[in-house]
Structure 1
Amino acid sequence: MTKRVIVTGGSGLAGKWVVQNLVEHGYEVMNLDRAPMAARTARTLITDITDAGQVFNALASSTAPGEFADDLEPKPIDAIVHFAAIPRIMITPDNEVYRINVMGTYNILDAASKLGIRKVIVASSETTYGMVFAHRDRSPEYFPLDEEYPVNPMDSYATSKVVNEVTAKAFHTRTGSDIYCFRIGNVLEPDDYAKFPAWLKDPALRKRIAWSYIDGRDLANACRLAIEKDGLGFQVMNVAADDVSSDVPTAELLRRYYPGVPVRKQLGEFETLLSNEKLKRLLGWKQQHYWRDEAKNIVQ
């Protein structure tokens, strides 16, 4: 039986990999976005997620691939992957970052609850830990960063993501639906591995993100596994690679750039500082794309 999934933000950097992965695995997918997908992997319904009426109508629409399909009757939606958002600070005013991200997520979760859609994957962010977009250099309370960390950001983007996690928990409490929030690390595409020579030359460039990364294809696998894993209720999970995006060992990175920050576990030589243990434990996720393999023909 075909499963129907709506992906919001499927025209974006991360969302397009999710759409492609789901289509390749036999899902019927519809994309909600402000512009069609460049690759036309799935049909896009142009939707303003800050408009509650548009969101409700979109989630109740047919996911058929086109207007001449044999069956245009709307069918039940099995899951939503919600990636649509302003993706960072400093591209729109801060109040717009906050408004669009918070209201968009509320509208998606509200409509899903009223339409009986029982599975939503929400894109949260590593920025919730408060370092990435801080107004000044800021050290965390401890490493590795895990889902129990007392998040306390100061910027509009990360704050919007924290609010979205609270909103997701509220809707789970209301409906009992499975709502999984992914705190996603720095998303890389295949072309991005050409940037590694510069990144390796100056490790400080990626200090604020604690040298995290996640290949878009690995992120897409995590989303599909989340759709296929029922019964976890409300969960927050980091989505990050197993290793740091540096050829400097993790312990040396900490010594140079985060001296004095407590380390709560024994870390492997190049182990990530954005813990992915919960993701692996709950979803059985395994990394497939490592920067060393992807960049081996580029990095000298």
Structure 2
Amino acid sequence: MTKRVVVTGGSGLAGKWVVENLVEHGYEVMNLDRVPMPKRTARTLITDITDAGQVFNALASSTSPTEFVDDLEPKPIDAIVHFAAIPRIMVTPDNEVFRINVMGTYNILDAASKLGIRKVIVASSETTYGVVFAHRHRNPQYFPLDEQYPVDPMDSYATSKVINEVTAKAFHARTGADIYCFRIGNVLEPEDYAKFNKVWLKDPGLRKRIAWSYIDGRDLANACRLAIEKDGLGFEVMNIAADDVSSDLPTAELLKRFYPDVPVKKQLSEFETLLSNDKLKRLLGWKQQHYWRDEAKKHA
């Protein structure tokens, strides 16, 4: 039986990989976004997620790939992957970042709960740890950053993501649905790997604020599909990051040079990530497939 998934923000950098992965694995996918997907991998329903009426109508619509199929009657949606958002600070005014991200997520979760959709994957962010978009250099309380960390951001984007996690937990308490929040690291796609040799390896300080985290868009897509296929976890927050730091310097050297005063809670392997993905691997059985060293060689 075909599973139907709605992806919000599927026209964006991260969302397009999720749509492609799900379509390749036989899912019927509909994209909710402001613009169609460039590759038209799935049908896009132009939707303003800050408009509750549009969101409710969209999630109650047919997910059929075209308007010419024999059966256009809306069918139950099995899962939502919610990526639509203003993706960072400094592209719209701060209040708009906050409004769109918070209200968009509330509207998606509210409509899902009232329509009986029992699985929602919500895009949160590594920025919730309060380091990435801090107004000045800021030491975290400890490394590696894990899901138990007392998140304390100061910017509008990260704050919106923290609120979205709280909102997701509230809807889980209300409905018992599975709602998994993914704190996603820096998403890379194939053409980005050329920057390693040209820029990033020459100045490791450029990726200091993101603690040298990264995640290939294709590995992120695999995590989303695994989350759709994993039932019964309830409400969970998981970091989505590669196993290794995005630097040719060992993790210990990066810490010594850029974060010498930050406590380290565990023994780290030579290039181990500082954005812990242990929970992701434990709960979903996720395994990394795309490493920057291999990809950088392909795109040198």
User: Following the alignment from structure 2 to structure 1, what is the Cα–Cα distance between the partners of residues 299 and 37?
Assistant: 29
User: Following the alignment from structure 2 to structure 1, what is the Cα–Cα distance between the partners of residues 4 and 67?
Assistant: 17
- TM-score normalised to the size of structure 1? 0.99
Matches within 5 A, 1:265-280: 265-280=266-281
Helix, strand or coil: the match of 2:288? coil
Code of the residue aligned with 2:231 in structure 1: it is D
User: Following the alignment from structure 1 to structure 2, what is the Cα–Cα distance between the partners of residues 107 and 209?
Assistant: 29
Contact 2:191 2:299 in 1 (8 A): no
User: Following the alignment from structure 1 to structure 2, what is the Cα–Cα distance between the partners of residues 259 and 294?
Assistant: 30
Is 1:233 matched up with 2:244? no
The percentage of counterpart residues that share the same residue type is: 88
Helix, strand or coil: the match of 2:179? strand
Deviation at 1:70, TM superposition (A): 1.1
CA deviation profile, 1:187-216 (whole Å, cap 9, x unmatched)? 000000010011001000000000000000
Aligned to 1:33: 33
User: Following the alignment from structure 2 to structure 1, what is the Cα–Cα distance between the partners of residues 20 and 298?
Assistant: 26
Aligned to 2:20: 20
Deviation at 1:297, TM superposition (A): 3.9
- TM-score normalised to the size of structure 2? 0.99
Helix, strand or coil: the match of 2:109? helix
Aligned to 1:103: 103
User: Following the alignment from structure 1 to structure 2, what is the Cα–Cα distance between the partners of residues 298 and 229?
Assistant: 34
User: Following the alignment from structure 1 to structure 2, what is the Cα–Cα distance between the partners of residues 138 and 269?
Assistant: 24
Aligned to 1:116: 116
Aligned to 1:60: 60
User: Following the alignment from structure 2 to structure 1, what is the Cα–Cα distance between the partners of residues 195 and 168?
Assistant: 35
Code of the residue aligned with 2:287 in structure 1: it is K
Aligned to 1:258: 259
Deviation at 1:11, TM superposition (A): 0.1
Aligned to 2:169: 169
User: Following the alignment from structure 2 to structure 1, what is the Cα–Cα distance between the partners of residues 201 and 298?
Assistant: 15
User: Following the alignment from structure 1 to structure 2, what is the Cα–Cα distance between the partners of residues 76 and 146?
Assistant: 35
Helix, strand or coil: the match of 1:191? helix
User: Following the alignment from structure 1 to structure 2, what is the Cα–Cα distance between the partners of residues 298 and 168?
Assistant: 39
Aligned to 2:81: 81
Aligned to 1:212: 213
Deviation at 1:298, TM superposition (A): 4.4
Aligned residues: 299
User: Following the alignment from structure 1 to structure 2, what is the Cα–Cα distance between the partners of residues 88 and 142?
Assistant: 24
Q: Which runs of 5+ in 1 are unaligned?
A: none
Deviation at 1:280, TM superposition (A): 0.1
Aligned to 1:47: 47
User: Following the alignment from structure 1 to structure 2, what is the Cα–Cα distance between the partners of residues 136 and 159?
Assistant: 16
Aligned to 1:203: 204
Code of the residue aligned with 1:183 in structure 2: it is R
Deviation at 1:260, TM superposition (A): 1.3
Code of the residue aligned with 2:200 in structure 1: it is W
Code of the residue aligned with 2:295 in structure 1: it is E
Coordinate RMSD, CA, aligned:
0.5
Helix, strand or coil: the match of 1:254? helix
Contact 2:125 2:161 in 1 (8 A): yes
Code of the residue aligned with 1:250 in structure 2: it is T
Helix, strand or coil: the match of 2:201? helix
Aligned to 1:281: 282
Deviation at 1:296, TM superposition (A): 1.4
CA deviation profile, 1:230-259 (whole Å, cap 9, x unmatched)? 000000000000000000000000000001
